[in-house]
Amino acid sequence: MSGNGLVKVSVLRRSERSQVPGPCRGDLDLIERVDNALAVLHGKWKVHLLFFMARGVRRHGRLLACLPSVSKKVMTDTLRALERDGLVDRKIYAEVPVRVEYSLTPLGWTMTEPLIALSEWGEAHAEEVTAARARIQTDSPPATQHPAAA
């Protein structure tokens, strides 16, 4: 890793690539670690909940209010998955009515920096991605109609 936190990846010239028989163990390990990290975030509402908790939203009802289109069950299942993976802590207060608060664990806080970096990448490259998608759509041949539909 370099001083700025970025992993240095060696890039092979075209002539060198032809000599490499396949992916090297280091590349496969790197890919596996990325896949494992992305699996922790896989799910429609996990990133949302991590950001809201990082901003200080902790009560179940307030978290639910931040996600108006999600059901209580889906949000609870998502919070449980984040808790299972060690990113979120749930604290139950012995009050009437019972109060439950969620917070990021130290491990959960370590996920905020990569998420912010992804957000910044998305902002910096949104136009390029949109342009690339538009090029692909205009370059692709028109869909042919099925003979039976004609």
- Give me the CATH number covering residue 115: 1.10.10.10
- What 3-state DSSP class applies to 105? coil
- Number of domains the chain contains: 1
Task: Say if 64 falls within a structural domain.
Answer: yes
pLDDT in tens, 45-102: 999 999 999 999 999 999 999 998 999 999 999 999 999 999 999 999 999 998 899 9
Tokens of 118: 């992804």
Task: Say if 113 falls within a structural domain.
Answer: yes
Distance CA 106, CA 109 (A): 5
Report field, pTM of the whole predicted structure over 0.85: no
**Residues spanned by the domain of 84:** 45-132
Q: What integer is the mean pLDDT of 2-9?
A: 52
Task: Say if 76 falls within a structural domain.
Answer: yes
Task: Say if 38 falls within a structural domain.
Answer: no
Task: Say if 127 falls within a structural domain.
Answer: yes
Q: Residue 43 — very low, low, confident or very high, per pLDDT cuts 50/70/90?
A: very high
Task: Say if 60 falls within a structural domain.
Answer: yes
Task: Say if 24 falls within a structural domain.
Answer: no
- What 3-state DSSP class applies to 12? coil
Asked whether the beta carbons of 70 and 49 are under 8 A apart, the reply is: no
